[in-house]
Amino acid sequence: MPVKKLKEFLDSNGVRYTIIKHSIAFTAQEIAAHTHIHGKELAKTVILKTGDKMLMAVLPASYRIDLSLLSQAVASPIELAMENEFQSKFPNCELGAMPPFGNLYDMDVFVDESLSEDEEIAFNAGTHKELVRLAYKDFERLVKPAKANFAMKA
C-alpha cells in the first residue's frame, strides 16, 4: 500500500523512478549494504517536533543530524519525535520506513544541502523491503523542501 500511494503520486507528476526490492533491513547501513547504494545517496527520514508540530528532516544515511543547526534553520527549538508520537501520521507505512515526501503527510520537510549534490537519491518507500530511486531534482520539485546545512558525516 505505501509504495502504491507513492508510485501513483510520482506517476501523476511524470517522474521517472526505479523500485529496488531488497532483503528486509531496518538501518540505513543495512539497506546500503543490501542494495550497494553509497550511504551518501541513500536518504534517510527523521521525524522531529517543534512544540506540537511535526516536521521531517531528510539527510544522507551516512550522516548524522545536528539538532542545534537544524533548530537555527527552523528558528525554533526542535527535538526528536518518539515513534508513538508520529506513527499515526503514516498509517500506510512501516515504522521507520517513511518516504521523505512530507507533502503527502501534511508535514514540512527540511533537506540537508549535501543531498542536493547527488544526481539521484534512493529512499525507503514505506516498507523495510523496498526503495525508490529518482533524480534529486524531481524530489526537490515535488516536495519543495527547505534546504539547510544540519548534518555531518557520522
Cell 525507503 belongs to 124
* 51 Rama class: left (phi>0) / alpha (psi -120 to 50) / beta: left
Residues 6+ apart with CB under 8 A from 72: none
**In order of start, what are the domains of the chain with their CATH numbers?**
2-153 (3.90.960.10)
The pLDDT tens digits along the chain (154 residues) read 467 888 999 999 999 999 999 989 888 778 888 888 887 889 999 999 998 899 999 999 989 999 999 999 999 999 999 999 999 999 889 988 999 999 999 999 999 999 998 899 999 999 999 999 999 999 999 999 999 999 998 8
pLDDT value of position 91 = 85
pLDDT value of position 80 = 96
